[in-house]
Amino acid sequence: MSTHPLLRIHVEFGQEKLDFEGNPDEVFSAFTDFLNKIYPTFEMARQLIFAPDIRKLAESLIGIVEIGKEGPILVLGRELSADETILLVLLGSHIGNRLAKLQKSSQSPNELSKATGKAYKTVMNQLPKMLDDGSVEKIDKEYKISDFGIIKAQSIIINYKASKTKEKTS
């Protein structure tokens, strides 16, 4: 039987002093509650700042994108549009990089073409539109998903899974 180490935090803020101990999720929750009580604007700032939950994003990609040694692999059918598949692959790159499974979070147009199954010319025609709408960012000769792109990708995933659920019940 293995035991997981406990996270311990000691906090002093003015006259307030507290110790937190437990698994990381419990400690984070208790610490956040503490901050909300002594510093109410912290909660407001937390709600305004976009900080995607990598664990939830990774879980949402199960059955859609897998992370291979060379990069993300689109495993769903090819029924999505080019921009949707590009966003999902770039989200896979982002998550793979954040989970330390990939060295980079960006993809070249050639890599995007291979990963999405879309023609290179289709990818090259779509990327400028995606730059214009703010869903991707260009870094040198590669592209990565933007925060806005992550929000769009989340919507694509939700709609895709809803359509698959609807197909199964029909």
Prediction pTM value? 0.71
Is pLDDT larger for residue 6 or for residue 146?
146
Range of the domain at 92: 54-169
Q: Give mean pLDDT, residues 56-61.
A: 90
Apex 93 CA angle, 87 and 99, nearest 5: 135
Write down which residue in 48, 63, 81 finishes a domain: 48
The amino acid at 17: K
- DSSP of 124-156, one letter per residue? HHHHHHHHHHTSEEEETTEEEE-HHHHHHHHHH
Is pLDDT larger for residue 14 or for residue 115?
115
pLDDT value at residue 50:
72
2 in any annotated domain: no
Q: Give mean pLDDT, residues 13-37.
A: 81
Into how many domains does the chain fold? 2
pLDDT value at residue 29:
83
The amino acid at 12: E
117 in any annotated domain: yes
Both 33 and 103 in one domain: the answer is no
Both 43 and 69 in one domain: the answer is no
Both 58 and 94 in one domain: the answer is yes
39 phi and psi, to 5 degrees?
-145, 75
Both 35 and 73 in one domain: the answer is no
Both 112 and 138 in one domain: the answer is yes
Both 43 and 59 in one domain: the answer is no
Task: Give the model confidence (pLDDT) of 133-150 as tens digits.
Answer: 999 999 999 999 999 999
pLDDT value at residue 154:
94
127 in any annotated domain: yes
Both 64 and 146 in one domain: the answer is yes
The amino acid at 87: L
